[in-house]
Each structure stands twice: as structure tokens, then as C-alpha cells.
A and B are shown apart, each in its own frame.
Chain A
Amino acid sequence: MDKMPRWADVFLTPLISLILAFFVSGLVVLYIGEDPFRAVSILIEGSIGSAYAWGYTLYYATNFIFTGLAVAIAFHARMFNIGGEGQAAIGGLGVALVCLMIPWPHWALALPVAVAAGAIFGAGWAAVPAYLQARRGSHIVITTIMFNFIAAALLAYVIVEVLKAPGQMSPESSAFNEGSNLPRIADFLRTLGLACEGRPLERVCRAPLNIAFILALLACFGVWLLIWRTRLGYEIRSFGHSEEAATYAGISSFKITMIAMLISGGLAGLMAINAVMGEAERLVIDAVQGAGFIGIAVALMGRSHPVGVFLAALLFGALVQGGAELEFEIPAITRDMIVVIQALVILFTGALDNMVRMPLERMFLARRKAG
């Protein structure tokens, strides 16, 4: 076949792209007069160099797994769901309502209900653009972007006018009931009999990594099953590859558009389990923090495959966490610089993918011909 080996396709290409991205980032760091090697070592050390760092990296990765899977599912049906940001925000509202309204005795009871609420709220927010696309042909990219703004406005209104505790100055809800707080890595260590007091575990225990990470792994597996092992997944992929062929096969475009977007929105909504229920333990106004958009990059880089999404989410989790450390250690490298580095990674792994892929493909072909 005229293809390169799978390992080169799946691992080598993104790896080279990544190295290129870091190289250019290094030039930028050099330009502002800092030592790029020191920056890289802080970035790596700060993201995966300690258990504490992992505690944060995996926490961020959990967010990106959910939003990445959301975008990936929509991609399989050839739809570009830009609305992960808004769907996650509204999902957060659902989770918050469940946690605030019911005095949960134990998190194990709260979690399934909160999962359902997050998914339903997120899916509900995706339902309107999905319906407009399926019935009226309004382009999903436009409508989901607009729904991000509506979600932000709606959330601000609800928090400030309804959920904000009396006397509270900042725009956030009152803290959730103790009973709905999810077990974190600290609780896990304690059940293992490890004390959080004293080194080296003290800092790890402050990390927000929580049980939602397990949920994210389950979601990866679930999405894989859905896409490649079920009839619905088969129909979604058929529709995504060729709408005309899907019509021939009797696959309803309305049904697939709706279902794929509902699942997508639901997955985005689940991000709130990690960020709202697991970390903030209250509803803050900007709980999503751009994860919905990073999910697009994650899905692109992960080639819409759950394993790829997991790995890409890990990478972006490390970038966010390492970036925060970098910002702290080298003040000249600001928050905006971190965004530039993230953007370069997205640019090289996503948009400029073929720049690396094509020469690699030619190289493998030439080698095969010779050999």
C-alpha cells in the first residue's frame, strides 16, 4: 500500500511536529531574552517532574479528555462542534444545581445524579444548534459559537442573580454541601494508609486530581466502543464519511445529526464533574477556562480516536500546568507567552500536520522502493 507504517503515522508525525513547535517556541523565548533551555526544563519539570506536578497535569488533562472526546464524536459525524465551551459551562450549571439543591449524604450517591445532570444540561445546550443544523441547515459552526456567548451571559446572570450567596462579593455560588465533594488524590492516598503530612506527599495532597479522571478514562473506552463497535457508531461514521451514501443506506441524517451532537454536548457537559464538582466545589463564573476550545486541538491532534485524544489531552494538560510553573519561575514569560506556545503546538500538530507527514511518507516510500 502507499502508506507509511502505522506507528509512524500515529506517533512519529505528531512527535516531530511537537519538536518543531518547541523549537520555534524556543526561538520566541530567546527573542525576549530568556534562556530557552531553562524554560523547557522548567516546563517539563513543572508538568511531569514530580508527583505534585502530575496531580495538576492529570487534572487539566481530565478536562481536555472530556472536551476532546466531545469534539471527536462530532468530527466522526463530520460536524465541527465549536460549542464545547458553552456546553461545558451549562453542564456546570446542571452539576451545581444538583449539588446545591440536595443535601447529599455521600459522594457516591451524588456522582451519578451529577453526571446525569451535567450530561443532560450539556446535551440540551447542543440540542438547539443540532436541531437548527438538521432541520434548517443553519451551519453548526456559527450556531455553536453563538451559543458559547449566550451560555456565558446566561451563566453570569444565573450566578449573580440566583445562586450567589447573600453578602458574597465575588460572582460565585455558595460552596456545595460537603457530601457532594468528590474524593481527590489526597483521599486516595489516605485510604492507602499514606499520610499527607510531611514530605514528599504534602504537596501532592493539594492537587485537584479527583475521581473524575477515572470517569474520563471510562468515557474514552465508552466512546471507542460506541464508534467502532456499535450500530449507532457505524451509522455516525457512515454519515460522517458520506452523507449521500448514508442516505442511500437509509440512515437518517436528522437522527444522526441530533444524536451525535447530543452525545458531544453531553461529553462536554461532563467536564464540569471535574472542574466544578471535583475542583472548585462551587460554581464559579469561569469554570471552563477555554477547555472547550483546547478540546478542538486535542481532537485534531488525537485524530478523533479516544487513545489519541487521551494522549493529546495529557500533552495539553502538561502544557497548561508546566506553563503556570514557567510563568511563576520566569516572570518575563507571561501568561500570554504560554498561550503563544500552546498556539504553536496547535499550529504544528494540527494545521501544519501535512508539512511533516508528506516528507515522512515520501521517505518511507523511497525506503520501501529501495528495500
Chain B
Amino acid sequence: MTDTTTQGRPEQAVPSNGKAPAIELKGISKAFGPVQANKDIAIRVMPGTIHGIIGENGAGKSTLMSILYGFYKADKGEIFINGNKTDIPDSQAAIRAGIGMVFQHFKLVENFTVLENVVLGAEDGALLRPSLAKARKLLTELAKEYELNVDPDALIEDLGVGMQQRVEILKALYRQADILILDEPTGVLTPAEADHLFRILDNLKAEGKTIILITHKLREIMDVTDTVSVMRRGEMTATVKTSETSPEELAELMVGRKVLLRVDKKPASPGKTVLEVKNLSVTDEAGVKRLKDVSLSVRAGEILGIAGVAGNGQSELLDVLGGIDHGTGTVELNGEAIDLTGKYSDGKSRRDRGIAHVPEDRQRRGLIMDFTAWENVAFGYHDDAAYQKNAWLMDNAALRAETEAKMERFDVRPPDPKLAAKNFSGGNQQKIVLAREIERNPDLLLIGQPTRGVDIGAIEFIHKQIVALRDQGKAILLVSVELDEIMNLSDRIAVMFDGQIMGERLPGETDEKKLGLLMAGVTEGA
């Protein structure tokens, strides 16, 4: 908060070629303690273009956008909006400067209508009616102009995520945003919904709006952006025209070395059935059926991929099989039934039966973030005789030694067993979980979102480990919302929608479009 006086009092900057860039950042630096999150970032985005920002987790994309939206103040550097030097001390100033932001996690009031959410915080006066009327009129216009159709009187909680995202965009447009920042917008969308979003973005671009798209999906960058900037470790490593680059080059720029985007794997040679699920149903506490008569089987030496938009029952499936949730139906492992309720339906009983589980949310479930790496290596297996010194005490020294060995085999960096889990990067955290679960030599591995929040370099390693486990003749049930990952790793693909299996496909005989239809609950033509 050094000089808030210049805020809203822009200085004229000299545009280089007559047309000023919509956004120009010069020498932006930001440090959090010893961590340099942004280092001397320079970027120019011309009006009426879609600019992609791509980078691994922790590369500094979100920090940069937070600076632009006034959440953080940069330590150094200048921001120019349409050629005018602008101070953005808070998000109100960002909105005044014409910047709108669509967050990854929506900021909507669930039990308000669309209209109320759009107006919230931008009311014209003490009475709501005039603002609501104005918003209703504008919403109708916007819907026509940009394919942004939403029922203005619907409650947010009744809308799907795709619709909710549109409300977020409408909110920004209602505040007269000319520059729209979207943070990982397709993470929760089906391919069809994502396509619709990109059409909307194209329409907005045609109207002269400027769009910044933050994503880690190379395909989206290639499909929709005009220019793309790559960030690595807080620095802007390159800005290129999208038409002049390739996914491979971008991946290399992101990671700093050549990356294999596809997994090399031999065809599967499936053996006997390991997991047989019949009519599995789960009802949640509110009485809603989250899983509806799901039946599937996984054989030894094969990977069954479960595709689907997040929240369609995949998590419940993993939870029941992993002993976290209760269910009804029958589940057999190697021909013997496992308990779905009662004393022997917990995670420990599952592990005893040879089911290992890499949970979807590693930070809340798979690890205890405040525990050291070696404490986490025992997690779930702390009753193992190898970890006990005698009847009373645990053998912490043996655990530390084992952790050290595991860290070397799984290339965990830094290889320090005494470091707390929270101090490792996402990829290294996942490697710790994988090392723990895979090296138990399970018959069945449940693995959810194996590479969520994991950097590209580590994705490659993790995929190789999963395929290697398959080749050892283990059964693997893979759940992922990343279609690429499902297509790449699976030997068979089952698609879930609304708690049901919509169908099974072979990866060679289907494509993302057809899977996308199934993911949206459409069986015809898929």
C-alpha cells in the first residue's frame, strides 16, 4: 500500500505501434518469504485476442493473476491497462479497470437466483428492484449475443457446473469487464460443455474483449488461444504465437526438458478376474443415491479406467471399495466376497485383503500434511509387524530407513524422510503415496486422479509406475477426470454418469467425442 494516490489517475504510456496492448505487465516480481513466486515477469496481451498462460503447478500463474486482480500487491513492477499505468490495490480497482475474473472454484451464493448473484455487490442503490430489472434486460441481450443462455430466475444450487460458470462470466460482463481472466475453466466441464465455453470465448473475442486463459491442458491452449505464454518456476520462459508452436514444444518449455506425452505400453494380457462388482449402490447421508447398481470387473494385468465428469459417482465407487464408505450389493476380490458394512468394511480390512488405495484427494486423505515423510509411509500400514520394535513400541528407525529407500526408488525430491509432507511439491507428495501403496504388492490398486496437481515431469513417472504394476499382473482401477489420462492408460474404459455406468469401450475403438457424449449421459451415437 505505498502509493494509493495514483490509483485511478493513470499516466499515459507510449504505445509502441499505435494500438496499446489491453494488458501490459512490466518487471512484475513477487516473493512470499524466501519463495520467489514471480520473477521479473513481462507480458503484453493485445485487445481482442485470447492469450493462454500455461505452466506447471507452482509455476506462478495464479500469483500473477492474483496480482492483476488486486489480491496481492507486487513487490516490483508496473501494470498498464490499455496503455495507461494503473495501480490495482484491490479487486474493486481491478473491476474499475475493466478486469473480470472467473475463478476455478466459483464464488456464487448457492441459494440465490442467477439474477441476484449477478447483481450482488454491484447494486445501483438501496433498493434491489431497479438493479434486478436492469440486469434482467442485460442478461437477455448477452444471452443472444454470446450464446450465454441461463435462466435468470433459477437458483444456483439447481444449476450444473457448466451453467454456474456461465453465471460467473455474466457477472464479469455485467461489471463491464473488457478483460476476462479464466482460471482452469474446463476442470469441471464435460468435453461438450468445454466446447460450448470456447464458442462463448470466441464470440467475446469477436466483440473485442480480451481473454486470458490459465490452464495446464496443452490441447486447450492449441485449440483456442492466439498467443501463449509459458511459465516455469516463477519466470516467463517464452511467449509464442500458438500457430507457430506444438504441444511437444510447449511441454518442453514448461518442464525444461523433453517430455513423453504418451505412455509407451504393451497390449495388456489380462488374467483371471480379480475384482467383481455387482449391483453396487451407495446412498449418502441426505438419502440421495450416489451409486446406482454399478457392476464392473477388473482382471489381473489390466487397467480399467473410469471416465466421467467429477461428481458422478466415481469418488463414491473408490470410497466403498477402499473401505471409507458403506454400500449395498456384492463385491468379490479373487472370488471371495468383501464386507461392505460392519466391522470388517474399513480401510484396514481392505489392506489386509490386498487392496491398495491411492485416494483422489491426497492432501486430505492420502497423507497427513503435518506428518513427516516417514510417518506418512507407515500410514494405513502402521500395524505391520515390520514397523514394530516390540509389543509396545514402533520401530521408527526402521521406518525412516525404509522411507529413505522408497524415496530413492520413486525419485522423491528432496529425499529427506524427516521433512513434513506439506513441504513437498504435489508430484513428490503423490510419489510418496504411490511408493507406499504400490510397494505393498497389492492384488488390486485403486487409484484416483493420479496426476491431479502434479507437474508434467512427475506425470510421466507416475504413469510409468502404474503401467509397470499392470505388467506385474496386478488389477488396477483408475479414476480420472482427465480424458487424456484415461485414454492413455486404460485397457478398457467405463464411463460414469449420475452414479451409473453408461457403457464400456475399448480405447482403440472410441474417441474423446464419443466418450464425451457418454459422460453427458447420452448413449445414442456413442
The closest CB in chain B to the CB of A366 belongs to: B33
Complex contact A241–B371 (CB within 8 A): yes
In the complex, A356 Cα to B118 Cα: how many Å? 43
* Residue B348 CB within 8 A of the other chain: yes
Closest CB-CB distance, B432 to chain A, in whole Å?
13
Complex contact B351–A250 (CB within 8 A): yes
Complex contact B396–A229 (CB within 8 A): yes
* Residue B14 CB within 8 A of the other chain: no
* Residue B198 CB within 8 A of the other chain: no
Instruction: Give which listed residue, A1, A241, A245, contacts B366 with CB less than 8 A.
Output: A245
In which size bucket is the chain A interface? 20 to 34
Report chain B residues within 8 Å CB of A244: 364-365
* Residue B191 CB within 8 A of the other chain: no
| Known contacts A229-B393, A231-B383; A250/B34 CB under 8 A | no
Complex contact A368–B34 (CB within 8 A): yes
* Residue A365 CB within 8 A of the other chain: yes
Interface size on B, residues (CB 8 A): 34
* Residue A161 CB within 8 A of the other chain: no
* Residue B120 CB within 8 A of the other chain: no
Report chain B residues within 8 Å CB of A241: 368-371
Q: Flag the segment in B38-46, B306-314, B373-381, B450-458 that touches A.
A: B373-381
Main secondary structure of the interface of A (DSSP, over half): helix
Instruction: Give which listed residue, B323, B364, B367, B396, contacts A250 with CB less than 8 A.
Output: B323
Interface residue ranges of B323-373 to A (CB < 8 Å): 323-324, 346-351, 357, 359, 364-371
Report chain A residues within 8 Å CB of B34: 2, 365, 368-369
Report chain B residues within 8 Å CB of A251: 347-348
Instruction: Give which listed residue, A1, A230, A245, contacts B365 with CB less than 8 A.
Output: A245
| Known contacts A1-B423, A231-B388, A250-B347; A245/B383 CB under 8 A | no
Closest CB-CB distance, B315 to chain A, in whole Å?
12
Instruction: Give which listed residue, B35, B379, B388, contacts A249 with CB less than 8 A.
Output: B379
Complex contact A230–B392 (CB within 8 A): yes
Interface residue ranges of A95-143 to B (CB < 8 Å): none
In the complex, A234 Cα to B382 Cα: how many Å? 8
* Residue B322 CB within 8 A of the other chain: yes
* Residue A252 CB within 8 A of the other chain: yes
| A-contact 0/1 string along B381-407, CB 8 Å cutoff | 011000010001110100000000000
A residues at B contact (CB < 8 Å)? 1-2, 225, 229-231, 234-235, 237-238, 241-242, 244-245, 247-252, 365, 368-369
B residues at A contact (CB < 8 Å)? 33-35, 322-324, 346-351, 357, 359, 364-371, 375, 378-380, 382-383, 388, 392-394, 396, 423
Of the A-B pairs whose beta carbons lie under 8 Å apart in the complex, a sample of 29, sorted by A's number, is A1-B423, A2-B33, A2-B35, A230-B392, A230-B393, A231-B383, A234-B375, A234-B378, A234-B382, A238-B368, A242-B364, A242-B368, A242-B369, A244-B365, A245-B364, A245-B365, A245-B366, A245-B367, A247-B324, A247-B346, A247-B365, A248-B359, A249-B382, A250-B347, A250-B349, A251-B347, A252-B346, A365-B34, A369-B34
